[in-house]
Amino acid sequence: MSAADWQDGRARCAWLGTWAGAADPLYRDYHDQEWGIPCRDERHLFEMLCLEGAQAGLAWITILKKREGYRHAFHGFDIARIAAMTEADIEALMQDARIVRNRAKITATIGNARAWLALREREGDVVAWLWRFVGDQPRVNHWSGMSEIPARTPESDALSKALLKAGFKFVGSTICYAFMQATGMVNDHTTTCFCHPDQARPG
């Protein structure tokens, strides 16, 4: 499937035609309505950081299909409620087929909620702290093809280092860059894609 082989005829990023699950409308909707759109909602940012970590070693479509399961399992990504989860909760989640039943990733989500709260205590505004890594403005790139898009950048390296220092897990630089792309801190839609700022988004 090429970038333009969708029924609506719109040109989209070529990764929709090459990544696992590309033909799934769920993937298309994620690309069209979320990926690369700037987000400053704390709960959503935390959700995406957790989901990107959960995706490590897996196809993103796997996580997208389990997203509602994650939201149910982790209290709608209410950070304080996740931070209060116990070992008994972890054992229950290890039996929950709606999520990826990986103990390290489950415990990382809970630990990351606690680290987020501690970071909020120190910084006051975690959202503003995260956005400082891109100078508080979305980085809009102008890639013509997938081969030009990096897997990590100096900004994602810096974010990863800071998050690891703050006690977060599953926040390597590649994961951090995927998080930055997903939340619109970086816009990596290719220049021919209708979602790129140089193209007109639908009303």
Catalytic residues: 30, 52, 60
Angle, alpha carbons 36-191-129 (nearest 5°) = 30
- Torsion angle (degrees, nearest 10) of CA 145, 146, 152, 156: 70
Residue 79 · residue 46 · CB < 8 Å: yes
SS (H, E, C) the chain: CCCCCCCCCCCCCHHHHCCCCCCCHHHHHHHHHCCCCCCCCHHHHHHHHHHHHHHCCCCHHHHHHCHHHHHHHCHHHCHHHHHCCCHHHHHHHCCCCCCCCCHHHHHHHHHHHHHHHHHHHHHCCHHHHHHHHHCCCCEECCCCCHHHCCCCCHHHHHHHHHHHHCCCCCCCHHHHHHHHHHCCCEECCCCCCCCCCCCCCCC
